[in-house]
Structure 1
């Protein structure tokens, strides 16, 4: 959970999210973040002792926004069941939401000094996706109630789809994203139908 910060520190965090969403940790500039927040770099250190501390505070705020987005996708997914609303939202969200860009950049191109903490945050994100997918699958296919192993298998496969789409965004700027998403949706649907017919 994100710590409560002063209004000034919160403003710095928001500027940091925008900056870190576009720059790898190593090339990020605290001076540019301070300028964007309307303060001097020296004043930034009155709120955050180091670049690492600011990075983590900004990451936690970005992660909280993205966790809420996951919840909303699954709460309003009747027309696109089985977690597909989340998947279909990714390309546009990556283009327009700095919080998602920052979370993925921190997860895949993380500074070594923060690896453990960032990994834990990203794993929390993936766990929420897996849990919500499992819930949606069970709601859509009550016959699977007696087959918890199948639910686990499909939820892990769903995370594989999510990982693949995240990688497509972070490393290729989403080139051929829709083609990959369509193929993965087809495979998930076909596999699920096959499993349901063999129960």
Structure 2
């Protein structure tokens, strides 16, 4: 993603990400964002017509950045990893290091009530990208499997569980990841043996 923006607009976006992640939509204040940036609140309106417009730009940025990131996490079959397994190991480090992933995840699970439809449609694009990448990988190792849809749903269920764990305190994250990976590996290896 290479959007050309003024430094002041990019600074507003960077600060707004932090405020929306920490305080949610309702708690994020344009006045506080402006104060953190070191500008007057009115200056935000030079770049964004409203709080919703700012939120929408953050949502679109997070979608583009995170889709670019996940594209790098698939199609990796080293060390005997199964389809999508590399991405499982990326989820927690990405959540801890990328404000865009924190934003996308938090807003998907707790969207502003008046923007539910918008958030849902953007998050569905993100999930569609994961599905596409996962299914491409799955079909490389099991091209004739009739279980593609079932494994895709199971894969998304694992990701959903890991995301929920991160939204809380993450204490059970590693244990949950290892347990689900164990079952995932066993299940795929069984159908590979049958093919």
Same fold (TM over 0.5): yes
In the TM superposition, residue 39 of structure 1 has moved relative to its aligned partner by 1.6
Q: Which residue of the partner structure matches residue 81 of structure 1?
A: 82
> Are residues 1:70 and 2:70 paired?
yes
In the TM superposition, residue 72 of structure 1 has moved relative to its aligned partner by 0.9
> Are residues 1:175 and 2:176 paired?
no
CA root-mean-square deviation? 2.0
In the TM superposition, residue 81 of structure 1 has moved relative to its aligned partner by 3.4
Q: Is the 8 A contact 1:2 1:61 kept in 2?
A: no
Question: Size of the alignment, in residue pairs?
Answer: 194
Q: Which residue of the partner structure matches residue 52 of structure 1?
A: 52
The separation in 2 between residues aligned to 1:77 and 1:25, in whole angstroms, is: 39
Q: Describe the superposition over 1:58-106 as per-residue Cα deviations: whole angstroms up to 9, x where unpaired.
A: 1111221111110111144534332122111111221221111111111
Q: Which residue of the partner structure matches residue 143 of structure 2?
A: 145
Q: Which moved more, 1:86-95 or 1:1-10?
A: 1-10
The separation in 2 between residues aligned to 1:82 and 1:18, in whole angstroms, is: 33
TM-score, normalised by the number of residues in structure 2? 0.90
The separation in 2 between residues aligned to 1:146 and 1:186, in whole angstroms, is: 23
**Structure 1 residues without counterparts, runs of 5 or longer:** none
Shift in CA distance, 14/173, structure 1 to aligned 2, threshold 3 Å: same
